[in-house]
């Protein structure tokens, strides 16, 4: 397994491009299963999870063509199987997002039950309950979700007990082909869901309330092909802004969307960052100052995103003052604190809260990545640590950050990847 070796101490400064959003690209790739015409998707990030989703579509018989600009054209008219196999689903939980499209379009599917991961048990009960409300018969057979419908799914009124991004995405996609109107209450409103809905509308779907927590979908007999560009990745954007802020540096991020991470930008300003915004760019300038500690509490959009929590734990670990970081979405998403404390951070865990006393500097140490965003927080910690830090198991990072070492090198970081 590759490792990252980071020599801390550089003040990051420069300009980088932001890639397409992983968490928008994944449901949009799944949505190509809803029609029998080619769907071309551009601005896809070159990430392991995207490759896995493309492999999943291919193994079911969809034709996948990559063009010279690395856009992907998916044609699901030649599908030969509606089974999402364990060997692929176990490597990427988001494979569950093919459940709704396959059921709605083909009437029957088997998707391997996605397991939990380091950050939590990650149940999918709300996905299944929504599809059952639309008339699906769902059984669990030998570790697979077996879903089938007698004819078309029916429009339904679904109220989600908990705001669920994936559950909302599966339900919206299924509802686009259902017979009748589906109302989704307490739906997730993340920008990635807005992006998915916009792509579905481009495919001929009828969706009202896009961007709100109440979606009304009028089902159609069929959808058609389209061409769609994935939105910029707001979490990658927030991650690089936080990394530069931790080193008291300055950066311009291009090809991004400032409107998708206002809660994060507000917290960075509270930490002392001078931020300017354009239509598709953000500049951050710490003017050489040490960041101030900021309290953070994660919650569904538009509140502070859980996918930025670990990065702010790292920022607070070297900030001026004491802060509290509260994680309300996942039951085990403060695990990075243990590795950071090995680097000299002073983080006290109390249930779903981390109380952080900022220190002047961290110390390098061999550390291990456990999940995607915790890995990013270790990279940030290593960038501000004295000495050389070796981060192991960085395949987690490659799932969500395209060319992370190249982008950080462009900002002046002393970072290199070494094969194990």
Under the rule (CB under 6 A), what is the footprint of ligand EPZ? 23, 26, 94, 120, 122-127, 162, 164-167, 188, 306-307, 329-330, 372-373, 400
- Minimum CB distance to ligand EPZ smaller for 19 or for 364: 19
- 410 Cβ neighbours under 8 A, 6+ residues apart: 14, 15, 16
- Minimum CB distance to ligand EPZ smaller for 9 or for 120: 120
**Which phi-psi region, left, alpha or beta, contains residue 413 (left: φ > 0; alpha: ψ -120 to 50)?**
beta
- Minimum CB distance to ligand EPZ smaller for 115 or for 123: 123
State the Cα angle at 369 between 364 and 373, rounded to 5°: 105
Tokens matching residue 69: 């600009």
Count Cβ atoms below 10 Å from residue 287 Cβ, excluding itself: 10
- DSSP class per residue in 272-293: T-EEEE-SSEEEEE-TTPPPBP
What is the nearest approach in angstroms of ligand EPZ to the Cβ of residue 400? 6
How buried is 378 (Cβ within 10 angstroms: 0-12 exposed, 13-18 middle, 19+ buried)? buried
What is the nearest approach in angstroms of ligand EPZ to the Cβ of residue 164? 3
- Minimum CB distance to ligand EPZ smaller for 5 or for 194: 194
What is the nearest approach in angstroms of ligand EPZ to the Cβ of residue 108? 21
Count Cβ atoms below 10 Å from residue 4 Cβ, excluding itself: 23
Catalytic (active site) residue 117: yes
- 397 Cβ neighbours under 8 A, 6+ residues apart: 4, 369, 372, 375, 376, 379, 391, 404
H-helix or E-strand spanning residue 73: strand 72-75
State the Cα angle at 217 between 214 and 221, rounded to 5°: 170
H-helix or E-strand spanning residue 201: helix 191-202
CB–CB of 229/253 below 8 Å?
A: no
What does DSSP assign to residue 154?
B
What is the nearest approach in angstroms of ligand EPZ to the Cβ of residue 393? 15
How far lies 302's CA from each of 260, 264, 361, in Å?
8, 10, 32
- Minimum CB distance to ligand EPZ smaller for 127 or for 267: 127
What does DSSP assign to residue 20?
B
- Minimum CB distance to ligand EPZ smaller for 23 or for 364: 23
- Minimum CB distance to ligand EPZ smaller for 306 or for 370: 306
Rounded CA gap, 123 and 140, in Å? 14
Which one of 82, 117, 197, 199 is the catalytic residue?
117
What is the nearest approach in angstroms of ligand EPZ to the Cβ of residue 236? 10
What is the nearest approach in angstroms of ligand EPZ to the Cβ of residue 286? 25
What is the nearest approach in angstroms of ligand EPZ to the Cβ of residue 329? 5
What does DSSP assign to residue 320?
B
**Which phi-psi region, left, alpha or beta, contains residue 169 (left: φ > 0; alpha: ψ -120 to 50)?**
alpha
Residues identified as active-site? 117
């Amino acid at each position: 397994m590759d490792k990252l070796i980071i020599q801390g101490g550089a003040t990051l400064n420069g300009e980088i491009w932001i890639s397409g959003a992983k968490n928008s690209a994944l449901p949009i790739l799944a949505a190509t299963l809803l029609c029998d015409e080619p769907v071309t998707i551009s601005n896809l990030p070159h990430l392991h999870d995207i490759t896995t989703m493309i492999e999943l579509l291919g193994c079911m018989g969809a034709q996948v063509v990559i063009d010279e600009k690395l856009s992907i054209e998916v044609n699901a008219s030649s599908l030969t199987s509606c089974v999402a196999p364990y060997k692929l689903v176990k490597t990427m939980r988001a494979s569950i997002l093919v459940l709704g499209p396959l059921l709605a379009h083909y009437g029957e599917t088997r998707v391997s039950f996605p397991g939990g991961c380091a950050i939590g048990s990650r149940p999918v009960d709300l996905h299944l309950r929504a599809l059952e409300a639309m008339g699906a018969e769902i059984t669990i057979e030998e570790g697979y979700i077996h879903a089938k419908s007698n004819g078309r799914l029916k429009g339904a009124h679904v109220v989600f007990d908990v705001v669920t991004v994936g559950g909302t995405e599966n339900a919206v996609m299924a509802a686009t082909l259902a017979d009748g109107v589906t109302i989704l209450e307490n739906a997730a409103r993340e920008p990635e869901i807005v992006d998915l809905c916009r792509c579905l509308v481009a495919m001929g779907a009828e969706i009202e309330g896009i961007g709100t927590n109440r979606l009304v979908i009028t089902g159609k007999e069929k959808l058609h092909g389209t061409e769609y560009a994935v939105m910029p990745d707001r979490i990658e954007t927030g991650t690089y802004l936080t990394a530069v802020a931790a080193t008291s540096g300055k950066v311009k991020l291009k090809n991004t969307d400032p409107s998708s991470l206002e809660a994060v930008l507000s917290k960075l300003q509270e930490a002392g960052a001078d931020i300017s915004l354009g239509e598709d760019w953000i500049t951050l300038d710490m003017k050489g100052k040490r960041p101030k500690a900021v309290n953070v509490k994660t919650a569904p959009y538009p509140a502070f995103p859980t996918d930025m929590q670990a990065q702010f734990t790292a920022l607070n670990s070297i900030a001026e003052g004491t802060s509290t970081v509260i994680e309300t979405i996942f039951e085990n998403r403060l695990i990075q604190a243990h590795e950071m404390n090995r680097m000299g951070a002073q983080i006290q865990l109390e249930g779903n809260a981390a109380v952080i006393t900022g220190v002047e500097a961290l110390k390098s140490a061999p550390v291990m990545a456990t999940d995607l965003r915790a890995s990013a927080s270790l990279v940030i910690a290593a960038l501000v640590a004295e000495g050389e830090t070796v981060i192991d198991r960085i395949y987690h990072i490659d799932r969500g950050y395209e060319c992370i070492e190249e982008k950080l090198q462009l900002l002046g970081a002393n970072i290199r990847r070494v094969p194990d």
